[in-house]
Chain A
């Protein structure tokens, strides 16, 4: 088993997260570094995710590495009927690092056990997407100057949104306060609220936006997807309740930043884009630096 792999956000301690924040900011200052010269990285996407793939491949290219791989399983003869085990065995012979996205949960952990080279999880089904979490953390770190003592609002689909779950777990070490705004049917699962309770971390649940928004340091928006509702009427009722509009940001703290993992549907009105508190586009760019930092950590560069 290769223990340098990065499979789950829970693999990293508080100190390691802070170390990565620091490295990411160095890459932001100086993104083009030839650390991956003469290295080959396998970027294998068993399901398509253009956004994540381009971010990784940009990070690899800025580090001077070369990329092999495929962009979805159907376009690759390599995966036809072949077990994941055999595919990973082959790839770990070819490449110095494997970046893998897979629709099945736990696929990345399994790959990290088989592979002789480090594996970075670029998303395994609904389970983990730890590089997304790292870029969220870096965005918070960068805009707030620290990860400590922040009041974090999470809005929308808190039940199925894996990004909010991973972010919650990662932030738990930094003395946060949480406010959750979601429809009843998409509430933060009990597994997470009881985790907060055990650790004495305050959290508050709301059914809609209220004036307490003025206390927020970070406003993390998510998509409320129609598919998540058993009842269409229920969706129609709530779909506009969780939309952030520019006027709602009046009176909020000057350091507030609005984050969103993208792509958005309608949960952030276009008039928010012009507000200097809107941060979601820069957030995406931070993904390149965060991924450069992660690659350099797992590769011992």
Chain B
């Protein structure tokens, strides 16, 4: 069986490929897939030349906005997105980690002003490999393991 057939093809929509399996559920939560009404196919633990095993998410009739895509990049740096139109891959995007993260993430510092007043959080990405986010307000680092998406 050909590798591409591990998950059935979609007509129109987005395929998120090469997701490390341990991050699959985090991605699902992050993208709020439960709110999407179109067909979603989720596959886990497929063989992958690059990762050994991987997860794939295919979402019909869904094209992500930039700020949604930025969320994914924070969780899976350099994740690959394929845009599908009429069964054809019309665009492939490798989503790079952004320089700045605005409004998406909670500051992990409980004494940060952004956790006490209604303020849009702002971070500078100080390390794109490890994903370290430096809060513009309290100047503390929120590291990868402590990234929580704002409600």
Decide yes or no whether B37 CB sits under 8 A from chain A.
no
Decide yes or no whether A105 CB sits under 8 A from chain B.
yes
Residues 102-152 of A at the B interface (beta carbon under 8 Å): 102-107, 109-110, 124-128
Q: List 7 A-B contacts (CB under 8 A).
A: A83-B118, A102-B113, A105-B138, A106-B136, A106-B137, A106-B139, A126-B111
Q: Interface digits, B45-69 against A, CB 8 Å rule (1 contact, 0 not)?
A: 0000000000000000000000000
Q: Are B117 and A128 in contact (CB under 8 A)?
A: no
Q: Give the number of residues in A that approach B within 8 Å (Cβ atoms).
A: 18
Residues 67-102 of A at the B interface (beta carbon under 8 Å): 83-85, 102
Decide yes or no whether B112 CB sits under 8 A from chain A.
yes
Contacts of A232 in B (CB 8 A): none
By a beta-carbon cutoff of 8 Å, the part of chain A in contact with chain B is: 8, 83-85, 102-107, 109-110, 124-128, 191
Q: Are A106 and B112 in contact (CB under 8 A)?
A: yes
CB < 8 Å neighbour of B113 from A84, A126, A128:
A84
A104-B116 CB under 8 A given contacts A125-B111, A126-B111: yes
In the assembled complex, the CB of B97 is this many whole angstroms from the nearest CB of chain A, namely: 20
Q: Are A85 and B138 in contact (CB under 8 A)?
A: no
Contacts of B136 in A (CB 8 A): 106, 109
Residues 117-151 of B at the A interface (beta carbon under 8 Å): 117-119, 135-141
Residues 67-115 of B at the A interface (beta carbon under 8 Å): 107, 109, 111-114
In the assembled complex, the CB of A11 is this many whole angstroms from the nearest CB of chain B, namely: 11
Q: Are B117 and A84 in contact (CB under 8 A)?
A: yes
The docked-state distance in angstroms from the alpha carbon of A128 to that of B112 is 12
Q: Are A8 and B139 in contact (CB under 8 A)?
A: yes
In the assembled complex, the CB of A141 is this many whole angstroms from the nearest CB of chain B, namely: 25
Contacts of B109 in A (CB 8 A): 105
CB < 8 Å neighbour of B112 from A8, A83, A84, A105:
A105
Q: Are A110 and B141 in contact (CB under 8 A)?
A: no
The docked-state distance in angstroms from the alpha carbon of A126 to that of B107 is 15
Q: Give the number of residues in B that approach A within 8 Å (Cβ atoms).
A: 17
| Main SS at interface, chain B | loop
Q: Are B117 and A105 in contact (CB under 8 A)?
A: no
**CB contacts between A and B, total, < 8 Å:** 49
In the assembled complex, the CB of B135 is this many whole angstroms from the nearest CB of chain A, namely: 7
The docked-state distance in angstroms from the alpha carbon of A246 to that of B135 is 43
Residue of B nearest to A125 (CB): B111
Residue of B nearest to A83 (CB): B117
Contacts of B107 in A (CB 8 A): 106
Q: Which of B112, B113, B116, B136 has the most CB of A within 10 A?
A: B113
A105-B119 CB under 8 A given contacts A84-B113, A110-B113, A126-B111: no
CB < 8 Å neighbour of A105 from B113, B118, B141:
B113
In the assembled complex, the CB of B45 is this many whole angstroms from the nearest CB of chain A, namely: 36
CB < 8 Å neighbour of B138 from A83, A84, A106, A191:
A106
CB < 8 Å neighbour of B137 from A83, A103, A110:
A110
Ranked nearest first, the 3 interchain pairs of A and B with the lowest CB-CB distance are A106-B137, A105-B138, A106-B138
In the assembled complex, the CB of A166 is this many whole angstroms from the nearest CB of chain B, namely: 10
Residue of B nearest to A191 (CB): B141
Given contacts A84-B117, A104-B113, 7 further A-B contacts (CB under 8 A): A102-B113, A103-B111, A105-B112, A105-B137, A106-B107, A109-B113, A126-B111
The docked-state distance in angstroms from the alpha carbon of A75 to that of B143 is 38
The docked-state distance in angstroms from the alpha carbon of A124 to that of B113 is 10
The docked-state distance in angstroms from the alpha carbon of A133 to that of B11 is 61
Contacts of A104 in B (CB 8 A): 111-113, 116
Q: Are B138 and A125 in contact (CB under 8 A)?
A: yes
Contacts of A128 in B (CB 8 A): 139
Contacts of A126 in B (CB 8 A): 111
The docked-state distance in angstroms from the alpha carbon of A102 to that of B111 is 11
In the assembled complex, the CB of B102 is this many whole angstroms from the nearest CB of chain A, namely: 13
Contacts of B111 in A (CB 8 A): 103-105, 125-126
Q: Are A127 and B117 in contact (CB under 8 A)?
A: no
